[in-house]
């Protein structure tokens, strides 16, 4: 079935179009993004259970963007009567005038932005899904999550709790200007199993997740996640600390994705180029990685949690080749940054929700596959670690530093896994050094979309990342 | 939909119990690239969040489900939402607990007029404009968010409280440069309104330390070293203690701390921390918590001994905590050290991390060093790169803290903190 577009948004379209006309009397460019996204989040553990209709992306509201004399302004609001658009127009104009007056009082100069183009575009996109979150049988879902939690407590050792979560969101977004009418709807879902265990005073969490641009039908896969989460928890309890130093590493696809995202993805968000906050701007056309490294970014790259048809500024989704055989080809760009840099936007203008500003943000950030097998890669390592599971990462585009906190490392000596495990593993380094050290790339590839991505320490959006296994050299601590 | 209409629907749909939180907020946002305005925004929104409860027929369980009724929802849509929530709540089986009653709730706050985001925003812009810049140190970009509004909490037991709220956030990126390269430093300031003097002083000091990063060498492979924290980067260390005293973390097994059972035998300083009702200019000053409970001062840990856990109604009742609440302001006591004594010997003073994290589950710390000062044999060497790691369960035994305190939004913490025997992975080739 198709994920149907929001009837509420369809209903307010005439009122919004009238709002655009009213605001257009004062501003040469006016757009409105309106959203109506519903979903649920269920979390079941032995110790507490919760159900909410709020996920990271559930929302209903609108944001108007206006441009005049080089200045860009926005108003976010969630009270709108489609039969009285003039009331909203008056309120918005009054707010913007009040801000303009205050800015005049403090003599604030403006960073001038060229006029925002408004070429005609019509989009109607409804993605396929098997089930819709709003039609989910909650009794059945809660029952199956409870079974997984109960079963995990029986199967696992040293268990404190076993938490199972399931979230699904039906996104509907509408983008209108004088010349554009774009409507999209799709469903994405994510779930996870977390096994909390303790032994000899040490506590650890084994975690396994799944996600995709699919409906709640994906939660049938959580049973498979259980065994992996329990196994990981056991391994973490046996883990030792890594001796700090530089090692040969093999990254599993989840860690490869973390590198793609933190080590490189943030570094080519071109709103950072506008502010001169990213080294990447100086390296376009230059070698920054091994010839084995090719990386893509774009909502069209994979059917993940962020596989939309157009972004939050009404730009169609793209597929950008960021690195081609080690050469930095392109960054990704939102509309306003593109105007300032004189390039084309890439469909990466995203907002946390309608209440937030749009920034250049990642969608799917993926390394391309190579031609090695994981077995060949392990056999080639004299002393190092196979790194698996991600905890978190942090970008540093200005200095191209990386911080990746990885769940665990499996020791490799003389081409064989020894059974020794280290945890947690902090991988740091200089991005071109790390990517330049890639010597093997595996044939398979996986995409991960659990969790969210912040810009600095805020502005959380859904992203996905991944790739194959990589063999490289890195500093671990 | 209005709150009163929603209450009518909750009653007609047969909710056993319910809670409603209505927030009405206006935010003024300004985005700057250097001194020029990149974009200005207004955010004017109302949120009505509803939580419904259903008891199991045998009275042993209380289920809940929560959602939002939008201001633009039709009565039919709102009723459908509430019925769906009630159905979901009936499948959720948590041990029974009670909702807060009016006699247990906060007294009515003394609300003055809602402050204008305009005047607070203007104060911030004028403050940042005062920051002295030079050819080698300046502001790269900054984002300002000033929110004012009202928060109203109601429940089916009869609580109905309203308070005015104000909060601000300033994110700023600073540059320092020499002939060969440019570096950046990042700061995020959160507060109630604008404390211009403190803000200008802190940004000016941060610009000054940027010079160090220009000359920073790769962090040496120290293996183990003492790490000194002398700014707000240390906050995750102190949040580790307050998180582990949260009733939710106790019930869920994330924290294994027990009342009156010392968290560690300390060789030097011990932890004493209280939840406090208010802190000057904190963005977390509230007369009542998200469930209508009065906020107040409460000792949480006294000399490393847990005294009182805190938390929401559900988890507090499970732990038989009377009169608990969801604390947001915390005040730590200082330790025994002066700045001079805590700086004795060799140590790594970390001024900036990429992202410093402390796990509330097992105390693991992790952070990449963006800028530190390696104090070694009387020399002070700026260093960058590498990481710190280890676990708070070890560090708490030998942690040293200054008597002097530092205030950062909703936390008062020791101005200087020294952790012994931290694993430091260097950035220079071994």
Summarised one tens digit per residue, pLDDT across range B222-265 is: 989 999 999 999 999 999 999 999 999 999 999 999 999 999 99
- CA atoms of A199 and B106, how far apart (whole Å): 42
Nearest residue on chain A to B141, alpha-carbon basis: A275
Contact list in B for residue A61 (CB cut-off 8 A) is 45, 70
Residues 6+ apart with CB under 8 A from A153: A46, A159, A161, A162
**Average pLDDT value for residue range A183-188:** 98
Q: Does A129 touch chain B (CB under 8 A)?
A: no
* Bridge-based pairing state of the strands A464-467 and A446-448: antiparallel
Nearest residue on chain B to A12, alpha-carbon basis: B72
In percent, how much of chain A has pLDDT > 90? 91
**Average pLDDT value for residue range A413-427:** 96
Q: Shortest CB distance from A111 goes to which of B36, B68, B253?
A: B36
- On whether the CB atoms of residues A317 and A363 are closer than 8 A, the answer is yes
**Matching residue, tokens 């199956």:** A144
Contact list in B for residue A52 (CB cut-off 8 A) is 65-67
The residues in A 179-208 lying below 8 A from B, measured between CB atoms, are: 196, 198, 201-205
**Matching residue, tokens 């070890």:** B394
Q: Does A357 touch chain B (CB under 8 A)?
A: yes
Contact B354 A403 (CB under 8 A): yes
The residues in A 404-423 lying below 8 A from B, measured between CB atoms, are: 405
**Average pLDDT value for residue range A402-410:** 92
User: A31 vs chain B: nearest CA distance in angstroms?
Assistant: 14
- CA atoms of B13 and B30, how far apart (whole Å): 44
The pTM assigned to this predicted structure is 0.95
Contact A403 B385 (CB under 8 A): no
Contact list in A for residue B67 (CB cut-off 8 A) is 52-54
**A74 versus A457: which is more confidently predicted?**
A74
Q: Shortest CB distance from A428 goes to which of B36, B64, B387?
A: B387
Q: Does A178 touch chain B (CB under 8 A)?
A: no
Mean pLDDT of chain A: 96
- CA atoms of B70 and B63, how far apart (whole Å): 23
Q: Shortest CB distance from A424 goes to which of B72, B366, B424?
A: B366
Q: Does A73 touch chain B (CB under 8 A)?
A: yes
Nearest residue on chain B to A88, alpha-carbon basis: B44
Say how many Å lie between the first and final Cα of chain B, rounded.
Answer: 66
β partners of residue B224: B423
Q: Does A277 touch chain B (CB under 8 A)?
A: yes
pLDDT, position B114: 80
Q: How many CB pairs under 8 A join A and B?
A: 240
- CA atoms of A271 and A362, how far apart (whole Å): 12
Per-residue pLDDT band at A262 (split at 50, 70, 90): confident
Contact A111 B38 (CB under 8 A): yes
Q: Shortest CB distance from B41 goes to which of A53, A73, A457?
A: A73
In percent, how much of chain A has pLDDT > 70? 100
Q: Which two tokens stand for residue A165?
A: 């979560």
- Burial of A160 from C-beta contacts in 10 A (0-12 / 13-18 / 19+): buried
| Closest by Cα among B277, B275, B274 to B109 | B277
Phi, psi (rounded to 5 degrees) for B324: -90, 175
Which of A34, A113, A475, A476 to substitute to test the interface with B, most B CBs within 10 Å?
A475
Residues 6+ apart with CB under 8 A from A467: A253, A256, A257, A260, A295, A366, A367, A368, A369, A445, A446
The pLDDT of residue A106 is above 70: yes
- CA atoms of A240 and A418, how far apart (whole Å): 13
Q: Shortest CB distance from B39 goes to which of A60, A73, A458?
A: A73
Rg (CA), chain B: 24
pLDDT, position B429: 61
Query: 10 Å Cβ neighbour count for B67?
Result: 23
- CA atoms of A56 and B56, how far apart (whole Å): 30
pLDDT, position A14: 98
**Average pLDDT value for residue range A317-341:** 97
Q: Does A355 touch chain B (CB under 8 A)?
A: yes
Q: Shortest CB distance from A75 goes to which of B41, B46, B118?
A: B41
The residues in A 206-265 lying below 8 A from B, measured between CB atoms, are: 241, 244-246
The residues in A 292-331 lying below 8 A from B, measured between CB atoms, are: none
Contact list in A for residue B45 (CB cut-off 8 A) is 61, 76-78, 355
**Average pLDDT value for residue range A135-164:** 96
Q: Does A53 touch chain B (CB under 8 A)?
A: yes
* Bridge-based pairing state of the strands A71-77 and A49-52: unpaired
Secondary structure (DSSP) of B119-168: HHHHHHHHHHHHS---SSEEEEEEEEEEEEEEEEEEETTS-EEEEEEEEE
Per-residue model confidence as pLDDT tens for chain B (430 residues): 899 999 999 999 999 899 999 999 999 999 999 999 999 999 999 999 999 999 999 999 999 999 999 999 999 999 999 999 999 999 999 999 999 999 888 888 888 888 789 999 999 999 999 999 999 999 999 999 999 999 999 999 999 999 999 999 999 999 999 888 888 999 999 999 999 999 999 999 999 888 888 889 999 989 899 999 999 999 999 999 999 999 999 999 999 999 999 999 999 999 999 999 999 999 999 999 999 999 999 999 999 999 999 999 999 999 999 889 999 999 999 999 999 999 999 999 999 998 899 999 999 999 989 999 999 999 999 999 889 999 999 999 999 999 999 999 999 999 999 999 999 998 876 5
User: A435 vs chain B: nearest CA distance in angstroms?
Assistant: 17
Contact list in A for residue B149 (CB cut-off 8 A) is none
């Amino acid at each position: 079935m198709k994920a149907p577009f929001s009837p509420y948004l369809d209903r307010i379209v005439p009122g919004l179009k009238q709002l655009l006309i009213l605001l257009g009397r004062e501003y040469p460019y006016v757009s409105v993004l309106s959203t109506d996204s519903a979903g649920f989040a269920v979390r079941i553990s032995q110790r507490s259970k919760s159900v909410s209709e709020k996920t990271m992306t559930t929302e209903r509201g609108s944001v108007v963007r206006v441009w005049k004399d080089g200045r860009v302004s926005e108003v976010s609001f969630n009270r709108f009567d489609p039969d009285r658009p003039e009331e909203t127009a008056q309120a918005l104009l009054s707010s913007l005038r009040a801000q303009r007056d205050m800015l005049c009082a403090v003599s604030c100069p403006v960073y001038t932005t060229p006029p925002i183009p408004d070429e005609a575009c019509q989009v109607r996109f409804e993605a396929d899904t098997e089930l819709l979150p709003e039609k989910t049988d909650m009794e059945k879902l809660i029952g199956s999550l409870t079974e997984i939690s109960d079963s995990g407590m029986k199967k696992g050792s040293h268990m404190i709790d076993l938490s199972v979560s399931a979230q699904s969101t039906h996104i509907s977004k509408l983008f209108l200007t004088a010349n554009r009418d774009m409507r999209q709807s799709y469903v994405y879902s994510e779930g996870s199993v977390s096994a909390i265990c303790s032994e000899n005073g040490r506590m650890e969490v084994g975690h396994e997740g799944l996600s995709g641009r699919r409906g709640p039908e994906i939660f049938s896969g959580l049973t498979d996640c259980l065994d992996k989460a329990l196994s990981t928890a056991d391994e973490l309890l046996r883990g030792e600390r890594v001796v700090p130093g530089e090692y040969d590493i093999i990254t599993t696809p989840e860690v490869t994705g973390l590198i793609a995202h933190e080590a490189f993805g943030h570094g080519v968000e071109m709103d950072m180029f506008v502010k001169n906050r990213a080294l990447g701007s100086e390296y376009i056309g230059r070698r920054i990685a091994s010839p084995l490294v090719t990386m893509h970014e774009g909502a069209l790259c994979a059917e993940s949690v962020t596989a939309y048809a157009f972004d939050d500024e009404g730009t169609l989704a793209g597929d950008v080749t960021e690195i081609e055989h080690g050469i930095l080809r392109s960054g990704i760009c939102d509309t306003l940054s593109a105007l300032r840099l004189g390039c084309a936007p890439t469909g990466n203008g995203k907002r946390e929700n309608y209440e937030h500003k749009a920034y250049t943000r990642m969608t799917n950030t993926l390394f391309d596959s190579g031609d090695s097998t994981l077995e060949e890669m392990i056999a080639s390592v004299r002393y190092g670690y196979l790194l698996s599971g991600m905890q978190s990462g942090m970008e540093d585009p200005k200095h191209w530093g990386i911080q990746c906190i990885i769940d665990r490392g499996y020791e490799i000596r003389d081409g064989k896994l020894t059974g020794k495990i280290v945890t947690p593993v902090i991988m740091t380094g200089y991005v071109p050094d790390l990517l330049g050290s890639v010597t093997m790339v595996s044939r398979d590839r996986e995409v991960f979309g659990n969790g969210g991505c912040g810009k600095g320490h805020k502005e959380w959006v859904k992203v996905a990342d991944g790739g194959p296994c990589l063999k490289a050299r890195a500093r671990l601590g | 939909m209005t709150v009163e209409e929603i209450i009518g629907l909750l009653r007609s749909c047969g909710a056993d119990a319910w809670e409603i939180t209505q927030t009405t907020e206006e935010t003024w946002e300004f985005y700057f690239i250097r001194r020029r305005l990149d974009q200005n925004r207004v955010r004017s929104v109302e949120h009505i969040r509803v939580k419904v409860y259903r008891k199991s027929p045998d009275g042993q369980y209380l289920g809940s489900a929560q959602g939002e009724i939008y201001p633009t929802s039709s009565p039919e849509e709102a009723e459908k939402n509430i019925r769906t929530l009630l159905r979901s709540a009936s499948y959720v089986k948590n041990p029974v607990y009670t909702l807060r009653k009016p006699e247990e709730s906060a007294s009515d706050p003394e609300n003055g007029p809602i402050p204008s985001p305009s005047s607070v925003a203007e104060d911030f812009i004028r403050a940042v404009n005062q920051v002295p810049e030079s050819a080698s140190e300046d502001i790269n970009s900054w984002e300002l968010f000033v929110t004012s509004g009202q928060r109203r909490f109601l429940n089916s037991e009869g609580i109905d409280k309203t308070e005015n709220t104000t909060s601000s956030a300033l994110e700023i990126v600073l540059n320092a440069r020499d002939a060969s390269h440019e570096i950046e430093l990042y700061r995020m300031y959160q507060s109630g309104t604008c404390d211009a003097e403190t803000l200008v002083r802190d940004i000016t000091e941060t610009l000054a330390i940027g010079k160090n990063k220009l000359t920073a060498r790769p962090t040496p492979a120290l293996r183990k070293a003492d790490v000194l924290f002398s700014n707000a980067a240390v906050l995750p260390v102190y949040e580790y203690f307050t998180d582990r005293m949260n009733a939710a973390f106790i019930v869920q097994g994330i924290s294994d701390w027990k009342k009156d059972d010392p968290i560690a035998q300390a060789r030097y300083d011990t932890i004493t921390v209280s939840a406090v009702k208010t802190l000057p200019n904190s963005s977390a000053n509230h007369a009542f918590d998200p469930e209508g409970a009065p906020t107040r001062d409460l000792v949480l840990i006294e000399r490393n001994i847990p005294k009182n856990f805190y938390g929401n109604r559900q988890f507090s009742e499970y732990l038989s905590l009377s009169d608990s609440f969801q604390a947001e302001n915390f005040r730590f006591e200082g330790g025994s050290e002066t700045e001079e004594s805590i700086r004795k010997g060799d140590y790594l003073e970390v001024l900036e991390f990429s992202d410093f994290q402390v796990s509330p589950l097992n105390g693991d710390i992790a952070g990449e060093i963006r800028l530190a000062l390696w104090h070694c044999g009387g020399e002070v060497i700026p260093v960058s790169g590498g990481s710190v790691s280890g676990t708070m369960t070890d560090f708490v035994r030998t942690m040293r803290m200054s008597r002097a305190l530092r205030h950062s939004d909703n936390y008062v913490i020791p101005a200087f903190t020294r952790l012994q025997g931290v694993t430091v992975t260097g950035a220079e080739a071994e």
